Structure 1
Amino acid sequence: MSLRYQKFLLFGDSITEFAFNTRMSEGKGDQFSLGAALVNAYTRKLDIIQRGFSGYNSRWALEVLPHILENEPTDDIVLSTIFFGSNDAVHGGSQKVELPEFTQNITELVRMLKNKGIQPILVGPALHDADKWESVRPDDVATGAVRSNENNKRYSDALQEVARAEEVAFVNLIEAFSNKGGSGWRSLLNDGLHFSGEGYEIFYDELLKTIRATHPEWAPENVAYKYPNWRQVESDGSNLR
């Protein structure tokens, strides 16, 4: 049996970059980790490749993705998230990308992956707690980095339309955070923008639900386990050759 692993690429901004951070909230100890949970779910099945770039938007992502694909064997990558929008949707500052350009950028990213035989999964921005963000990040706010749920929803809806047009999967985090968070949805966010462990757990659940619905062959339970369970290994290891 080959030990060449196929790969699941996580491509996005800071929420992807922090996917393995178990201590997003100071003083609260270890919390749920999206990255660790995916590695656990796909252990001995797929490799999880994290390529998150804090603060990046879809315009800059277009510059980065070709370099990622140049340096990873693309024949091995079977799935990839594209998770941008939280920065694009900012109301001002250098991260802002207007909605028409954002839509075009995401479409190009999707097609770039599809041309390599990689199945894209678009992820929309989640809810935003402006009161908390503006209280803990006054310097960012002073530069124009003001966000809103209204704009996040506009960009999420645009992503959903791209997903429909390009016939790719979509994870609706605004809807998931609203439905699962209820009146306590603010606890899903660490600083008003980035996710707490609870938020990452909802992201994980929604991502796997989407994979099972759209790419069931890549659901963890359907991917072949590399090498037999130790109880099936011959004492001399002869069936491992």
Structure 2
Amino acid sequence: MRPKIYLFGDSITEESFGDGGWGSSLAHHFARTVDVVLRGYSGYNTRWAVKVAERVFGAAEGGGGGVNNEEPLVVTVFFGANDACLPNRCSAFQHVPLDEYKRNLRSIVSFLKKRWPTTRILLITPPPIDEDGRLRHPYIENPSNEPERTNEAAGAYAKACVKLAGECGIPVIDLWTKMQQFPDWKNACLRDGLHLTRSGNEIVFEEVVKKLAEEGFSPETLPVDLPLITEIDPRDPLKSFQQ
């Protein structure tokens, strides 16, 4: 069986298999070497992610409704955009206090490490927020006409994610910082002040590929599933499948 990479996160992960999405690009990048499996849940925060992790990934002895116990190569954990909703705005029900967010991330990491001791875990911080974009594209009624997220709050959660990764000794992508290095990032990277444009998805894809390569995972280092066409003897094609 091919090894697997699981993508665990909120809507930015759930949407990642769309046209030009970072997940679909990752699946294409690892074609014939790795199966990229989507586990994205729109609107979820880390509090909810902790509660459902066993259902998502299956019970330890193969029960539950999730995946089997075959140890994946990597699990990406990409939460925080919803945790960072402000507690006094229209999306307050999604808000998770900063210290709890960090504890929840640690719990998710511990759960995955206990389940699969050799699996690499890659944390991804929430992206930056364009507050004007959030006002132009509300997804629930917003009577206060104030953004339910701010870039400052998202930055605090991103820093907590980076700090937690250091404490756990695992890799992290600081997407909040990275995206803001691009000119006109608010329009170039975000389509509604939060979710990613094609260019934003490209940034995530490139950062994930780079980080995975640093961990030793690339198409060049992984075995290819079944013989390549160049390895098949045209005089006796079936011979290749007997090896």
Q: What TM-score, normalized by structure 1, do the two folds share?
A: 0.89
RMSD of Structure 2 on Structure 1 (CA): 1.6
Q: Cα deviation per residue 1:65-121 (whole Å; 9 max; x = unaligned)?
A: 111221212323120011000000010211000011100000000111111222110
Q: 2:28 maps to what in 1? A: 40
Whole-angstrom CA distance in 1 between matches of 2:193 and 2:158: 17
Secondary structure of residue in 1 paired with 2:184: helix
Q: 1:19 aligns with which of 16, 20, 24?
A: 16
CA contact (8 A) 2:50 2:108 kept: yes
Among all aligned residue pairs of Structure 1 and Structure 2, give the percentage whose two residues are the same amino acid. Answer: 28
Unmatched runs of 5 consecutive residues or more in structure 1: 23-31
User: Is 1:88–2:87 an aligned residue pair?
Assistant: no
* Bigger relative CO (Cα 8 Å, ≥ 6 apart): 1
Deviation of residue 153 (structure 1)? 0.7
Whole-angstrom CA distance in 2 between matches of 1:105 and 1:141: 28
Secondary structure of residue in 2 paired with 1:219: coil
Amino acid at match of 1:21: G
The 3 A distance-change label for structure 1 pair 220 and 175 is farther
Whole-angstrom CA distance in 2 between matches of 1:187 and 1:202: 11
Secondary structure of residue in 1 paired with 2:8: strand
Q: 2:71 maps to what in 1? A: 76
Q: 1:26 maps to what in 2? A: none
> Aligned residue pairs: how many?
226
Greater displacement, 70-79 / 192-201: 70-79
Q: 2:6 maps to what in 1? A: 9
Deviation of residue 35 (structure 1)? 1.9
Q: 1:57 aligns with which of 37, 45, 66?
A: 45
Whole-angstrom CA distance in 2 between matches of 1:72 and 1:184: 36
Whole-angstrom CA distance in 2 between matches of 1:219 and 1:236: 28
**Richer in helix (by share):** 1
Deviation of residue 239 (structure 1)? 2.0
Q: What TM-score, normalized by structure 2, do the two folds share?
A: 0.88
Q: Cα deviation per residue 1:126-155 (whole Å; 9 max; x = unaligned)?
A: 111110111220735348871011111100
